[in-house]
């Protein structure tokens, strides 16, 4: 009887796009291909091929406001960047302060050197960065990822999937191979990421929005 039920619940190739759409919509957060394979009982190769086709269909659909984005080995359904103005009218503006040049600089150090310790970040910047790293963690752009095999076992940090989503790239490997300090402003990094991803305004949260109203660097 159990085997019969499994057979009845088996998803066909024709049903797979609808099933994936439903799972991505309900889940909300990025979900790995391994998880999708377990849920749908489909091979990863079939899932990746189907998702790639769905991503293209969503992206080119002029009547749809949603898209599917790949983030590392995960997939997530989100709104198209073009929907930002109408969504801003739906939700009240967030009160969190904009990112400063110092915060951007710390984020760039972590992104280009991850996994990295606080001491290594400070060695590059030349100043204490404890409070800024903590703020980046609060924003969901940076996370802890273990400890370094060294005296004191210092904590290691890396960027998150949210970082990839907000900057419009699928993997940190897409970040331009450039000297860190060539980026004098946040706009420089944004332009480089746009070039790397091949897409304009492909972020859910723009850097201009982060920096709006900024009058000076945050105090260290």
Q: In the chain, what's the furthest Cα-to-Cα distance?
A: 68
Domain boundaries in the chain?
Answer: 13-88, 101-211
Sequence-distant (6+) residues with CB within 8 A of 131 are: 220
Q: Looking at the domain 13-88, which fold is it?
A: Arc Repressor Mutant, subunit A (1.10.10)
Residue-level pLDDT, tens digit, the chain, 220 residues: 344 444 556 889 999 999 999 999 999 889 999 999 999 999 999 999 999 999 999 999 999 999 999 988 899 999 888 888 888 777 765 556 677 888 888 888 898 888 889 888 888 888 888 889 998 998 889 999 988 888 888 899 999 988 888 877 888 887 776 544 444 444 555 555 555 555 554 444 444 443 343 334 344 4
H helices present in 28-160, as ranges: 33-40, 44-60, 84-90, 101-113, 118-125, 130-138
Q: 141 phi and psi, to 5 degrees?
A: -95, -20
Q: What is the pLDDT of residue 37?
A: 94
Percent of the residues in the chain that have a pLDDT greater than 70, as a whole number: 72
User: How far is Cα 150 from Cα 86, in angstroms, rounded to an integer?
Assistant: 50
Cα 171 vs. chain centroid, distance in angstroms?
A: 8
Cα 101 vs. chain centroid, distance in angstroms?
A: 20
User: How far is Cα 153 from Cα 160, in angstroms, rounded to an integer?
Assistant: 22
Identical topology for domains 13-88 and 101-211: yes
Closest C-alpha among 135, 177, 173, 174 to residue 157: 135
Task: Tell me the CATH class for 101-211.
Answer: mainly alpha
User: How far is Cα 65 from Cα 150, in angstroms, rounded to an integer?
Assistant: 48
């Amino acid at each position: 009887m159990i085997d019969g039920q499994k057979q009845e619940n088996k998803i066909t190739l024709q049903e797979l796009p609808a099933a994936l759409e439903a799972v991505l919509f309900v889940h909300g957060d990025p979900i790995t291909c391994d998880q999708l394979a377990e849920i749908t009982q489909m091979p990863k190769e079939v899932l990746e091929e189907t998702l790639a086709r769905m991503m293209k269909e969503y992206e080119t659909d002029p009547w749809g406001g949603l898209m599917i984005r790949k983030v590392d080995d995960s997939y997530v359904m989100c709104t198209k960047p073009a929907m930002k103005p109408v969504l801003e009218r739906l939700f009240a503006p967030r009160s969190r302060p904009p990112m400063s040049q110092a915060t951007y600089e710390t984020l760039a150090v972590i992104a280009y050197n991850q996994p990295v310790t606080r001491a290594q970040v400070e060695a590059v910047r030349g100043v204490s960065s404890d409070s800024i790293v903590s703020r980046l963690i609060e924003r969901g752009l940076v996370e802890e990822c273990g400890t370094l095999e060294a005296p004191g076992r210092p904590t290691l940090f890396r960027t998150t999937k949210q970082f990839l989503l907000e900057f419009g790239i699928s993997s940190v490997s897409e970040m331009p191979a450039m000297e860190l300090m060539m980026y004098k402003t946040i706009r420089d990094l944004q332009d480089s990421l746009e070039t790397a991803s091949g897409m304009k305004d492909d972020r859910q949260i723009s850097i201009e929005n982060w920096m709006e109203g900024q009058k000076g660097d945050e105090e260290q």
